Amino acid sequence: MDTYVLTYAAFNGLMVGAMLGGIALGLSLIFGVLRIVNFAHGSFLMLAMYFAFWMQKLGGIDPYLSVLIAAPLMFVLGYFVQCFVIGPLIRRERALVVEPISALLLTAGVYILIDNLALMAFGPNVRSTPSLVQVTSLMVAGFPLNTFRVVAAIAALAMAAGVSLWLARTDMGRAIRATAQNRDAAAMSGVDVPFVYNVTFGLGCAMVGVMGCLIAPFIPITPQVGLSFGIKSFIVVVLGGIGSIAGSLVGGIVIGLFESVASQFVATPTASIFSLGLFILILLVRPQGLMGRK
Amino acid sequence: MSDVLLQVDRVAKRFGGVQAVKSLSFELHRGEILGLLGPNGAGKTTAFNMIAGFIGPDAGRIALEGRDITGQRPWDVCKAGLARTFQLSRPFGGMSARENLVVGALVKTNDRQRSRDKADELLDFLGMSALADVDADNLTAFERRKIELGRALSTDPSLLLMDEVVAGATPQEAMTMVGLIQRVRDRGVTVLIIEHVMKVIMSLSDRVIVMHLGELIADGVPADVVSQPNVLQAYFGDDYVEAGA
Amino acid sequence: MTPRFNFLAITSLLLACIALPLVLHDEFLIHSVIMVLYFGYLASSWNLMCGYVGQISFGHSVFSGVGGYASVLLLTGMGWSPWLGALVGGIAAAVLSVAIGYPTMRLRGPYFALTTIAFAEIIRIWFENTDVVFGIQLKGAEGLSVPLIGTSWAKFQFESKVPYYYIILGMLVVVMTITWLMERSRLGVCLKAIRGDRDAAESLGINPTRYTLTALAMSAFMTALGGSFYAQFIRFINPERNMGTELSIDMALMSIIGGQGTVFGPLIGALFLAPLAEITRTYLGGQFAGLHLALYGLVLIVAVLYLPKGLLHPLRQVARRAFAKLRGGDAKGPQLPVPAVLPVQGDAK
């Protein structure tokens, strides 16, 4: 196998991996703090991508600029979803014993609802969002890399670093980490746990919103795109470790590298099968992932 | 029939960096009530769970009625004649009190009627016949404890392991439970009980063993053991012993 | 509601179902009814394991796919009667389910659900991308058709749709009867205990793996039979339709919304959701593709939040109250559970 092609695939894999890690960040955070599996994660990504598309189509706003509007909007959306849809379930869970599967079903319902509302509203056709950025490839170490992927990858890393810092340094961040470690102890220490939940969910959605805008220039936009990224995000989070930001990136990069390199040797469906197989294996053998806590 | 019902021989367990149980050996004689004491972190629950099959020992041997049950899973250990209660009573919600007891009875017999009869007999023994059809979720905390006991008894064990049965009970309820356990022994069931409440241990146990930091440090009649210096030191620390000496 | 009333109600309902084709002559309507019953059957099969073990599977359609492919391939390749082919498919599905279930059963709820999706996707992707295997034509995503080979019961092909109706009705009755029997059997009691508290069940001599895998194998077998029926009825099978995530979710949803862990719950869920899907698809499908699914999502959200025990639970309450009124408040009926605050004898004061 040609070393150049292989190295190129590795570079691509790294970038795609970082991007996947960035997308999965929100999922990891939400799971780490609220302990619920957010089936609708991909749906929020899809919404952000459509948002970037419509901002471009209707207002001529470049996706990279839409990020600034999308992030707070998605935060608010996530905040409200948590407040009005998921919150009632968690409140009920404290009173009676409810199977944890209920949260999964609830978010599954949200995913089904959002994905199909999108299908109804936007139609099944593929959309694309060209960016005003004209430079389509950068030369890095002799390899022509797709600019948009590079930006998405770097942004993912920056976002991960930024959120990590924020969680470590700010009061809200500390409150979130405390709740993630021990909900009851945090509550007794004066943390407003429902509020923390709302903020966390909002933050998770905001992060995925940022990524959505950033990948809109090079990922075809359809109502189904959410599901495939959602599943990938699950694989990344399980691999890298739930609730670990670094883990999310590591997991993403592993998956990205793996699929990119594997695609050089086997057909794409087989690579998907291997990813899914890896996912199952991790769950069975090392459920806390590569860097997770629990 | 040998007099020794349960034989625990040099059993050990390590969790990561902590040696929870070092080299535990003791015997349990048929028909006795043995109390297992020790401060928190002594390894009592680990030892308990190893005997009951929920944790596998790293070393050592456990034999019930001469048969090796080391490392066997809980359901096989149950079939061998050992039953246990849980510290946090967890009767099956959505099932009535009677149904809870039928579950265990079905282990030894396939006959529906016989298991129902057994359940009813146990309800009577527990003084809960009037509550037979009440959903377990609607029972009081102490009633749930009694169901916990009844459930363990429904499997017809020769050895009953009880884990802190009077935690959270009023003194009156504790005494009721003590009476029940004595009657359990009268029915021919040997009992090993972990307990912190002194009054219960003193009035119930024929013999007590004390664990501390994973090891056995005392074995004897309650009155003797509880005044032993090393036992006092384990519970209260050196200062107390010095002050009292 | 006394057992005798239940028996009479069910028998009359059954007789009405049997008589239905005599009054209903529109083949299109019969087709719709068959589809509703088919979903009811699938949901009931799903419920056999998932409702009673309490583990949600989102990959069950893989079993229906295995059943469908088995019966189609054995018919077109070896001339075997679909009845036999369905049986083979059922056994294959059961074996597959145990192979998948054995390592994964101990995973907690959400993880198990995700694993079932992963397994189902792996198998579906493989089917979709495989044209030939061991010399057998699978035709991948294109799917297989069942050629018309003349009408007979042995060949599972008929002039009208009515025999299919009776077959699926029979299958539905069988799966519900099996569920009813299972509930009362030792298996049912053990599953209930495992679901209630796994550790406690283990300490009572119950090996969770043995019982949950038994339920899973039964469920997979029945689901596969359903898949065979569908493949022979529509005379077409492909991975997306018969093995896809959408079908898995449909099965799970209907059972959950109707009331999992009950005999009639899945059927009620199907009676509620399947016509909903049919109507929205037929009348609004053109403009609003996906509306019926959006409604499913909405229903699921509402159900999880406000009807955790499914539709069956409130329906039962309503029926009980109505029945009590009819009997003039007869005291001889099922009592409400005794509230915990009532003083009860047996406790020392």
> What CATH number is associated with residue A177?
1.10.3470
CA distances from B85 to B13, B76, B166, C173, C200 (A): 21, 16, 12, 41, 8
Structure tokens at A160: 């991960």
Q: Which of C298, C301, C309 to mutate to test the interface with A (most CBs of A within 10 A)?
A: C301
Q: pLDDT tens digits, residue range A176-226?
A: 999 888 888 888 888 888 899 999 999 999 999 999 999 988 888 998 888
Q: Are C61 and C245 in contact (CB under 8 A)?
A: yes
Amino acid (1-letter code) at residue C39: F
| Contact between B89 and B144 (Cβ < 8 Å) | yes
Owning domain of residue A222? 3-285
Each of the 349 residues of chain C gets a pLDDT tens digit; together they read 577 777 888 888 888 888 888 887 888 888 889 999 999 999 999 999 998 988 889 999 999 999 999 999 998 888 888 899 999 999 999 999 999 999 998 887 788 888 998 999 899 888 888 888 877 777 777 788 888 777 777 777 877 888 899 999 999 999 999 999 999 888 998 998 888 888 899 999 999 999 999 999 999 999 999 999 999 998 889 888 888 888 898 899 899 889 888 999 999 999 998 888 777 777 765 666 678 888 888 988 998 888 877 788 788 888 778 877 777 654 444 544 444 444 444 444 3
User: What single-letter amino acid sits at A127?
Assistant: R
**Distance of alpha carbon B186 from alpha carbon B160, whole angstroms:** 13
pLDDT at C41: 96
B to C CB pairs, distance under 8 Å: 105
Averaged over B65-90, what is the pLDDT?
90
Provide the pLDDT for residue C329: 52
- Position C107 scores a pLDDT of 84
Comparing CB atoms, the residue among C113, C122, C308 nearest residue A104 is C113
Cβ-in-10-Å burial (0-12, 13-18, 19+) of C339 comes to exposed
| Among candidates A103, A105, A269 on the partner chain, residue whose Cβ is nearest the Cβ of C125 | A269
A99:C289 CB<8 A: no
Report the C-alpha gap between C265 and C19 in whole angstroms: 23
Burial class (CB in 10 A: 0-12, 13-18, 19+), C300: buried
Q: How many residues does chain C have?
A: 349
Angle at alpha carbon of residue A122, lines to A119 and A126, rounded to 5°: 90
Q: Which residues of B touch C338 (CB under 8 A)?
A: 131, 134, 138
The tokens of B60 are what?
Answer: 């050592």
What residues in C contact A276, CB-CB < 8 Å?
A: 118-119, 121-122, 125
Q: Are the Cβ atoms of C199 and B151 closer than 8 angstroms?
A: no
- Residue B95 contacts residue C308 (beta carbons within 8 Å): no
H or E element at residue C75: helix C61-78
pLDDT of residue C345: 41
Any CB–CB contact under 8 A between C336 and chain B?
no
Amino acid sitting at position C288: F
Integer Cα distance of B96 and A105 in angstroms: 28
Q: Measure A112 CA to nearest chain C CA, in Å.
A: 5
Q: Test C193 with B103 for CB contact under 8 angstroms.
A: yes
Domain assignment present for A291: no
Element (H, E) at C346: none
C197 is written with which tokens? 């508290």
Query: Chain C within 8 Å of A102 (Cβ-Cβ)?
Result: yes
The nearest alpha carbon in chain C to B153 belongs to C204
Pick the closest to residue C216 from C64, C41, C91, C94 (CA basis): C94
Helix, strand, coil % over all residues of chain C, rounded to 5: 70, 5, 25
Chain C hits for B159, CB-CB cut-off 8 Å, are none
Q: Do B86 and C189 touch (CB under 8 A)?
A: no
Q: pTM for the full model?
A: 0.85
Q: B151-155, B232-236, C205-209, C251-255: which range is least confident on average?
A: B232-236
Chain C CB contacts of A101 under 8 Å are 54, 56, 109-110, 113
> Is A140 part of the contact surface with chain C (CB cutoff 8 Å)?
no
Q: Is residue A182 part of a domain?
A: yes
On average, the pLDDT of chain B sits at 87
* C-alpha span between A160 and B85 (Å, rounded): 47
Do the Cβ atoms of B90 and C199 come within 8 Å?
yes
pLDDT at A294: 47
Handedness of CA A138, A144, A148, A152 (dihedral sign): negative
Give the best residue of A280, A281, A288, A294 to mutate against chain C (max C CB count within 10 A). A280
Q: How would residue B228 be classed by pLDDT, with cut points 50, 70 and 90?
A: confident
Length of chain B (residues):
245
- Domain B4-244 carries which CATH code? 3.40.50.300
Q: What is the pLDDT of residue A292?
A: 61
Task: Using a CB–CB cutoff of 8 Å, tell me whether C191 touches chain B.
Answer: no
Q: Residue C344: its chain B contacts at CB < 8 A?
A: 130-131, 140, 143
Query: Looking at residue C153, what DSSP letter applies?
Result: T
Q: Cα B8 from chain centroid? A: 15
Residues 262 through 291 of chain A touching chain C, CB cutoff 8 Å: 267, 269-270, 272-273, 276-277, 279-280, 283-284, 287
Task: Say yes or no to pLDDT of A149 above 70.
Answer: yes
The CA distance from C338 to the nearest CA of chain B, in Å, is 6
* C348 neighbourhood in chain B, CB within 8 Å: 172-173, 175-176
Q: In chain C, where do the E strands start and end?
A: 132-133, 136-137, 144-145, 236-237
Would you tell me how many other CB atoms lie within 10 Å of the CB of residue C326? 9
Which pLDDT belongs to residue C322? 80
- Mean pLDDT, residues A2-17: 87
Binary contact (A273, C122; C-beta < 8 A): yes
Better pLDDT: B233 or A67: A67
Mean pLDDT on A129-157: 81
Q: Report the alpha-carbon distance of residue C302 to residue B38 in Å, rounded.
A: 51
Shortest alpha-carbon distance between residue C49 and chain B (Å):
18
Count Cβ atoms within 10 A of the Cβ of residue A234 and give its class: 0-12 exposed, 13-18 middle, 19 or more buried: buried
For C186, what's the count of Cα atoms within 13 Å in the CB-facing half-sphere?
18
Using CB atoms, pick whichever of A36, A104, A119 lies closest to residue C290. A119
Cα–Cα distances (Å) from B152 to B65, B157, B174, C187, C292, in that order, read 18, 8, 18, 20, 50
Q: Give residue-wise pLDDT tens across range A99-124.
A: 567 888 889 899 999 998 998 888 88
C107–A112 C-beta distance less than 8 A: no
List C-alpha distances in Å: B63 to A225, B4, B11, B33, B43: 59, 10, 11, 18, 19
CA distance C334 to chain B (A): 11
Expressed in angstroms, the distance from the first to the final Cα of chain B is 45
* Number of inter-chain CB pairs under 8 A, A vs C: 120
pLDDT of residue C70: 92
ipTM, two decimals, is 0.88
* Residue-wise pLDDT tens digits, B83-141: 999 888 778 877 888 989 998 888 777 788 888 899 999 999 999 888 888 888 888 88
DSSP string, C224-269: HHHHHHHHHHHTEE-HHHHHSHHHHHHHHHHHHHHHTTSSSHHHHH
Enumerate the residues of chain C whose CB falls inside 8 A of the CB of residue B94. 192, 196
Residue A138, min C-alpha distance to chain C (Å) = 35
Domain ranges in chain B are 4-244
- Chains touching B (at least 3 CB pairs under 8 A) are C
| DSSP state for residue A39 in the 8-state scheme | T
On whether residue A292 sits in a domain, the answer given is: no
CA distance C144 to chain A (A): 21
Calpha distance A24→B123 (Å, rounded): 54
DSSP assignments along chain B, one per residue: --SEEEEEEEEEEEETTEEEEEEEEEEEETT-EEEEE--TTSSHHHHHHHHHTSS--SEEEEEETTEE-TT--HHHHHHTTEEE--SS----TTSBHHHHHHHHHHHH---HHHHHHHHHHHHHHHT-GGGTTSBGGGS-HHHHHHHHHHHHHTT--SEEEEE-TTTT--HHHHHHHHHHHHHHHHTT-EEEEE---HHHHHHH-SEEEEEETTEEEEEE-HHHHTT-HHHHHHHH-HHHHHHH-
Task: State CA A7 to chain mean position distance.
Answer: 26
User: How many domains in chain A?
Assistant: 1
Residue B13 confidence (pLDDT): 92
Give chain A's mean pLDDT: 86
- Give the C-alpha separation, C291 to C270, whole Å: 17
Contact B13, B58 (CB under 8 A): yes
**What is the C-alpha to C-alpha distance for residues A163 and A183, in angstroms, rounded to an integer?**
21
Tell if the CB–CB gap between A85 and C301 is shorter than 8 Å.
yes
Please name the member of C200, C206, C347 whose beta carbon is closest to the beta carbon of B90: C200
Question: What 8-state DSSP symbol labels residue C132?
Answer: E
